[in-house]
Each structure stands twice: as structure tokens, then as C-alpha cells.
Structure 1
């Protein structure tokens, strides 16, 4: 039987799946486990994306140093493919690692540089963790591309070996990432899953975190936004086609507890722009890559969630030298009510306090 949902119900399922209700999660590992992935985009106009994503769920108790400890010391969280992930998800990624690299160019380049590959693994085993800059470029064949990776052979090799599961990211700091052999970062006692088992469980976990998704969506290089035939079939009023819904999410609709949140532009709730427009009726685009004169909302504008609706964008920037969070504008998609204005203002103040800054500007004015 196909379920029929209102758009409000679909929004609430999506918000609840992303842990953005008043019922906040207990800790960092629990949050990453429930979200399945946390984006590591380092752009820090306000704060790095991973920190914003975790702060928006956990609030003031979250501190970046706690995440670093979980990655570097406890090994409860690991980095792969540009995302932080709970280490308990490693078995779900290992089958995909076995099939890396996917591109023929990378496979051929890796084969041509087999001596270089073995030398790097030997050096990491003896001296690691190391930065890419610590590894001499001894490539037999140089990597060619039209982008920034051209001729950056040590870094390109490490990137490929991480994706293959031979090397792992041990830690990162202001200077970048440190790499080590994978068996010093990943646990040894990992359950072996088939490709099919891992793919199905990843899809199940993805649907739980999203709440509602398409069976088939736009292809993504690492983390899909679709879920196949997992979950229950549903239609949503005002949208075309069929959706897939996490059946457990339906039980929480009656007790939906709203709050206001400022989200990273890389937050999973806004990542799929098509889904964002269909379910939330919200137009959003990250404008950091646009010339300043062509920006509508700002360099790193944060989507503003209020309850189960997106109501605007916050254009702000951290000025740590001056000790302030500069609020350039609060863009209202529709005129704010007094209640929304007060809630958004309070959230901006909370963000500034968490950053250790004062607010400069006129939030929600």
C-alpha cells in the first residue's frame, strides 16, 4: 500500500531524521552514527562545516577538540571520502574500498606507479603518520589533470590509497591531514560483508537519516541521495512521483518538537537541492563560488530552519581578530513574525557565544 503524506508530514520526517528537533542527541558519536556522514568541507567563514553540523545538533556542549579526540585517540570516528563517519560503519565501506579506484585513469596510473606505491607504504609503516609533503615524489609516471592535482603525485597517491583502504587519515590539524597505514587506524576485528549486504545496510541507514528520499536520484560520486527500494512507498501532496519513507519515522509525527537551527551550507538536510525545493519549497544556493556582485544571500549564508520550515538565510562572518561575529544580513524568505525574529535572534546569539565572539550587526532586524 502506498502511503500518502502531506508536505508538512514529509518535512517533519526529514527534520526529525536529521536530529533537528528539540530532542537533541546525547553526544558526538551518537550524532555522527545517526546522520551516517558529516561533511568535512574546511571553509571557515563562520566555522568549519563539520563543527557547524555538530553544533546545530548538540548545541553549546559540542567542542571541536572533543571530535579531534574521538578521531585521533579513541578511534570512534574516522574520515573517508570527505566525511566523518562512526567507526562502526567501517564494515559497510570496506566492500566499496575493495573496488577502488573506479576510474580507468586512476587504475592505470596506480599500476604504472607500483614501485612508488610500495615505497610509500613502506615509509608510512616505518615513519608514519606523515603529511603528503613529507613523502618525496618518486612517481614513475606523473599524474595529469586539468585541475589542482596535476603533477601532485605524492598527494594523489595518498588520496587513492585512502579510498582503496590501504592508507587511512590518522588526524588533521591547521596544516592539513596526516596519513598512516590503515591497520594502525582501523580496527582489526571487522565483520566481513558482501557487496550486496553492505550496499543494503548503507541504504537502510541512509533512509533512516534522511527520513524520506527518492528511490533513484542524481548520481553522486561517494554518498548517494537515493535509497533504492528500501522503506515504504509514499506520495507527497504537491510533489510528483513516488518517495521512499523510513517506516519508523511515521511513529514520531505526532510528537514533533520544533526548534530553530542555523545550518551549514553542506548540511545533509539541504544538500539535495531538488528534494529541498520539492518538500520544503526552499530555494538555496551556496554562493561562495560566485563573484560578490552576483550573490543574493552572501558568501557563506547559513540556511535558517524554524520548526519544519526554512524561513531565511543568515549572512555572517567570524572575525576572530576583532572578537566578533559580523552579521551582514538576515534574509527573510517571508516577513518574520515576532516569534520567528526572536527565535532567530536567540540562535544567532547562541552561535556567537559558542564561537566565543560578540555579535556585531543587527540580527533578525
Structure 2
């Protein structure tokens, strides 16, 4: 009998082989041969797409969407969806605007409650209160003038943000980020590298707010649907909670210790072969972003190496994972050199020797990537 979230702790769990778990994960991420066709449908299913600015090949968000939608996707499609309001930016993620109804209760409860081990919520609340004058000036100016870039907004914080790292000297930026978390302002675009803000009430849909507990449970369900198989209490999804809670049904994976949660909607196809294709992924793709999960479920050893010295890199600055069918089989070290008009391929790393059909499929995918970027492939890996 299948288990449910309401089952007792010792309820029977679904038993999955690693191949089956891998199959579910690939299906859940929309990376099979049955490609989706609509941008909004992809983002709805994935729940969020990370808006990381690194663009060694293309911005991560564009690589994620291209790897699902193919050459029919253009970067302008995302910008158009954000401008039209069908997608919104929140915490460096593109999300469906209708999902804001699931987040407004969390914003109203910002920053949450202290725990026995952390007073961080109180510290955030106190810092925003200490800079209440700057906050009110920002709100008043946006109300009067409409959307404005960060440099045009007041920078009158009286209590500095305590940081010895990235946020040092960025009090205004940090305050704006916290005001986003409070549901007061929203990101509506960019001017160069500067975010443009407006009042959230002008940006977010005026849909009924879903109560917090119900919203959290629904977000857990959607997060699990996008992953297929996940640990109940440990996820790596920037800008999102680190858990799927009790969503789905319990599972164990052959050869992997511990319990998992599985999306029951995928179980009917657990024995079906994945309609395969070859895909080049962003290194921030959700299929590989959780490095530990990638090793445990997918047998894939990978790390983002852009912060390592060049001599210490194994695969490359912005290496693209290679998916063939339902298996991750290697990495491609490539860089878009727009000024030269080429997609430079420095290395193709085979995790195990590839048969000819895989090599040809990867070559074809590199040709497609170059064409999508409007570049010519330059295969330095073959010299």
C-alpha cells in the first residue's frame, strides 16, 4: 500500500533503485525528449529559476530555459515575461506572479521568530527599525516618482550593516533586500547592473493571501514535484526553504543511506524508459545544484569551479554538465567569446569513455548551443 504524508513514521516506503530515482529526477526537471514548449509552463513547473548574472557562456537562467525549450527560446522572452508581469523577480529568482499568493503570508510574518539557537530574526528586525528613516524615505520617493534604480534612492542608513565581506558598505542595498522580504518593495528591472525598484503593491497581483501553514505545505509539494526525489530535510535551492517537509511519500533508494520523499505523481512512470536526448546544462541547474544529491542519486561528481584558481580546476571555470538520456556523463569547458564571434570549447571531459553515439550527440548539442548564441563553434579540444 503506498505511503502518504499522513502515514505513521514506520509506514512502508517506496523502494527505488538508483536508476529509477535518477529517471524520476530527470523527468521532474523537464529534461526528457518530451520537451515543453511554453516559457511560463516551464517556470511554473520548476517553481523558480535562478537569476545569476554570471555569463561565461550565457546567463544561467537562459541556459536553464534553453536546455528545456531549445532554440525557440530567446533571452528576450524572459525579459518580456518579467515586463508583462506574468513572471516576477524575488530573491534573485524568476517566479510565476500567481505564486506570490503563496509568499505574502511569509512576507507579513517577516522575519520570523527567534529559535533557541538563533536570534537572527530579532537582529534583522532591529536593524531595519534602526534605519526606519531611510526606509520611509525610500517608500515615499517610490510612491511619488515610480520605479527607480538603486543609485536614485535615499542612502541615509544610520546603523551600518555588520559585515566584513560582500555586504560591507552596502547598507542601502541590504535595506532594500530586506524591504523585499517584508513585501514592501519589488524588483521590476535593471538599468545596467543596478536593480530598479517599485512599491510591491504596484507589482504583485492582488490575489487572496494563502494562510502561512497552507502556503508552506503547497510550496513543499511544488518543490518536490520539480525535483522528483529529495531528502525531506536538506535541500540546496538558493532563495527557497531547505526542505520539502512531509510532501509526497516516503522512499528509500537502493545503495543510498537514509530516507527520501518522492513525488507520487511520477511513480506511475517509474518503470518506463525516459524518452532520451542530450542536454548541456547550466552549472547552476537544479538537477546538479545540490552536489551531494547529484553524487548519491545520479552518481555525478561535480563542482562549480569559478572561484578556484585556474590551476586547481578539474573541469573549467563554468563547466556545463552533460546529460545523455537519464545519465550525467561528463562536462564541457566552454566560453562564449562574443567579440570574436565564437563559442570556444577548451575541453570535453568524459566521466567514462563515451561510445560514438554519445560523442556525436554532444557535438550536435554544441553546434545547437553555438547557433542559439549566434556564434561559431571553435573546437580547441580537438587540437
Q: Over aligned residue pairs, what C-alpha RMSD do you find? A: 1.6
1:37-81: CA deviations, max 9, x gaps? 101111000000100100000000111111101101x20001111
Q: Is the 8 A contact 1:32 1:85 kept in 2?
A: yes
1:147: how far off? 1.6
Q: How many residue pairs align between the two structures?
A: 363
> Match for 2:95 among 79, 85, 89?
85
Provide the residue aligned with 1:263 in structure 2.
Answer: 281
Partner of 2:221: 204
Match for residue 308 of structure 2?
Answer: 290
Q: Residues 20 and 71 of structure 1: is their aligned pair in 2 closer, same or farther, counting only changes over 3 Å?
A: same
Shift, 1:89, TM fit: 1.0
Deviation per CA, 1:166-194: give whole Å up to 9, x if none: 00001125333110000111112x12211
**TM-score, length-scaled by structure 2:** 0.91
> Per the alignment, do residues 225 and 11 of structure 1 end up closer, same or farther by CA in structure 2, a change over 3 Å counting?
farther
> Do structure 1's residue 131 and structure 2's residue 156 form an aligned pair?
no
Residue 68 of structure 1 is matched in structure 2 by 79
Partner in structure 2 of residue 161 of structure 1: 179
Shift of 1:27: 0.9
Is 2:319 the partner of 1:309? no
Paired with 1:67 and 1:29, the residues of 2 have a C-alpha distance of: 9
Unaligned runs of 5+ in 1: none
Kept after mapping to 1: 8 A contact 2:149/2:190: no
Per-residue CA distance 1:79-106 (angstroms, 9 max, x = gap): 1112111112111111222233353332
SS of 1:342 mapped into structure 2? helix
| Larger mean Cα displacement after TM superposition, 173-182 or 289-298 | 173-182
Distance 1:128 1:181 in 2: 8
- Secondary structure class of the residue paired with 2:257: coil
Q: Give the aligned partner of residue 327 of structure 1.
A: 345
Residue pairs, 1:1-365, within 5 angstroms:
1-72=12-83, 74-101=84-111, 103=120, 104-188=122-206, 190-217=207-234, 222-253=239-270, 254=272, 256-362=274-380
Distance 1:234 1:191 in 2: 35
Which one is further off, 127-136 or 345-354? 127-136
SS of 1:317's equivalent in the other structure is strand
1:129/1:179 contact within 8 Å kept: yes
SS in 1 for 2:173: helix
Structure 2: distance between partners of 1:5 and 1:128: 53
Contact 2:49 2:94 in 1 (8 A): yes
Structure 2 unaligned regions, length at least 5: 1-11, 113-119
Q: Is the 8 A contact 2:142 2:148 kept in 1?
A: yes
* Runs of 4+ off more than 4 Å: 218-221, 362-365
1:211–1:219 CA distance, 2 compared to 1 (3 A) = closer
Deviation at 1:221, TM superposition (A): 6.5
